[in-house]
Amino acid sequence: MSGNRIVTYQGPGEVSIETVDYPKLEIPKEVADAMGVKQAAPHAVILKLVTTNICGSDQHMVRGRTTAPIGQTLGHEITGEVIEVGDDVLFVKEGDICSVPFNIACGRCRMCNEGKTGICLNVNPARAGAAYGYVDMGGWLGGQAQYVMIPFADFNLLKFPDRDAALEKILDLTMLSDIFPTGYHGAYTAGVTTGSTVYVAGAGPVGLAAAFSAQLLGASRVIVGDMIGDRLRQAETFGCETVDLSTDGSLADKIAELLGEPEVDAAVDAVGFEARGHGEGAAEAPATVLNDIMTVSRAGASLGIPGLYVTGDPGAVDDAAKEGQIGVKLGLGWAKSHAFTTGQCPVKQYNRQLMNMILAGKADIAKAVNAKTIGLEDAPRGYQEFDAGAATKYVIDPHGMVA
């Protein structure tokens, strides 16, 4: 193979598809140096991408809201066919179609042994935790591409048991790399269970996945809040109730109109640090959603926070927020004895079980998030439409393998 087409960040609001070298069975030099190991990665495989998705986390970089450099490769939602296998890979074979957790994990450190694969200690010299194609996440090449290298393949890959069945449900299965487990993690860590009333902030793909997951977990009522009408209508297609945050009135009052009381049993923040205040034309106010979910969650509730918060935001509204310091009413959460769960979803804790639900026909997640397939060269358009508020999960099909 002579090259590899890949989506790259070219400055605020701009991405392009560039040609880079075909991937080698090697880990990034900075990771190898930090681990004290060779770059050669006989534990790795090369995947031919079957599907790779545009994520809201990618949009934060593309909007210029992170410290991502020009040329940063993109893409951490990866599903692919194994086409090259390292000598130390034992259980993954050429031709296997696999889901790749967006967390890169060594499978050997203390955190991996505890199941906390989102904060692996060996794959990122800068901090705990790594991901493909993301700023400050270890320098790993992105997966919005034709081909990608996956390290520690026996540990990281989730092999689909039947190739034909996988291709038939590939639009659902592609969500296993990130948003389905992430949404499920948000609902699960919020304590959603049989009969729960739930509020999900944000009707983007992760918020929709969280709402869908809350239903799988047995919630009696799921309310989704957003400021974009098309996204709220998408939530309603699978039985959610909605609140329009672009209109006047408090969130608590809006919830009371639906439930008869201003509180819910569990809440999920699927928005993150680019949150806005309420009302038409509201300005950015990054602590809004965190304060909202504390306000409308009952005493003793748990709060799932899969929405992204960063330590460096050059486009923030003030100097404190540029360093990740935002005006959270922690006293409110303390007074109500709330429990908070934040950070990357440890995808491997959930992806196999969710795969089984998909293959059994019990989780039509692609329909819930309104999946739409585009070609690799159409990625810039997909980013633009998603940034404009499209109620769509864009799935890139680099090789025309999706029926």
Q: Where residue 213 falls among pLDDT bands split at 50, 70, 90?
A: very high
Task: For residue 376, tell me if it sits in a domain.
Answer: yes
Residues 161 and 126 in one domain: yes
| Residue 68 near residue 9, CB atoms below 8 Å | yes
Query: Across residues 121-136, what is the average pLDDT?
Result: 96
257 shares its domain with 128 = no
Distances (CA, A) of 97 to 144, 171, 173, 194, 236: 17, 13, 11, 34, 33
Segment 256-284 mean pLDDT: 96
| Residue 158's CATH number | 3.90.180.10
Of 298, 321, 341, the residue that ends a domain is 341
Q: What is the mean pLDDT of residues 23-32?
A: 96
Amino acid letter for position 218: G
**Confidence band of 3 (pLDDT split at 50, 70, 90):** very high
Q: Which domain holds residue 311?
A: 180-341
Domain membership of residue 236 (yes or no) is yes
Residue 206 pLDDT > 90: yes
Q: DSSP secondary-structure letter at 279?
A: S
Q: What percent of the chain has pLDDT over 70?
A: 100
CATH assignment at residue 246: 3.40.50.720
Say if residue 272 is in the same domain as residue 315: yes
Per-residue pLDDT, averaged over 132-148, amounts to 97
- Mean per-residue pLDDT for 176-199? 98
pLDDT at 1 over 70: no
Measured between alpha carbons, how far is 173 from 195 in angstroms, rounded to an integer?
28
Number of domains into which the chain is organized = 2
Q: Are 81 and 97 in contact (CB under 8 A)?
A: yes
What's the rounded Cα separation, in Å, for the pair 206 and 388?
17
| pLDDT, tens only, 324-370 | 999 999 999 999 999 999 999 999 999 999 999 999 999 999 999 99
Looking only at the bridges linking them, the beta strands covering 393-396 and 339-341 are: unpaired
Report the percent of the chain where pLDDT is more than 90. 98
pLDDT in tens, 52-92: 999 999 999 999 999 999 999 999 999 999 999 999 999 99
Question: How far is residue 68's CA from residue 14's CA, in Å, rounded to a whole number?
Answer: 13
Task: Inform me whether the pLDDT recorded for 252 exceeds 80.
Answer: yes
Q: What is the pLDDT of residue 403?
A: 86
pLDDT for residue 291: 98
pTM of the model: 0.97
Please check whether residue 197 lies inside any domain of the structure. Answer: yes
Residue spans of alpha helices (H) in 7-63? 29-35, 56-62
Q: Are 114 and 177 in contact (CB under 8 A)?
A: no
In angstroms, what CA-CA distances link 6 with 17, 33, 49, 52, 143? Answer: 5, 26, 11, 11, 7
Question: What is the per-residue pLDDT for 2?
Answer: 78
* 21: amino acid identity, one letter: D
The average confidence (pLDDT) of the chain is: 97
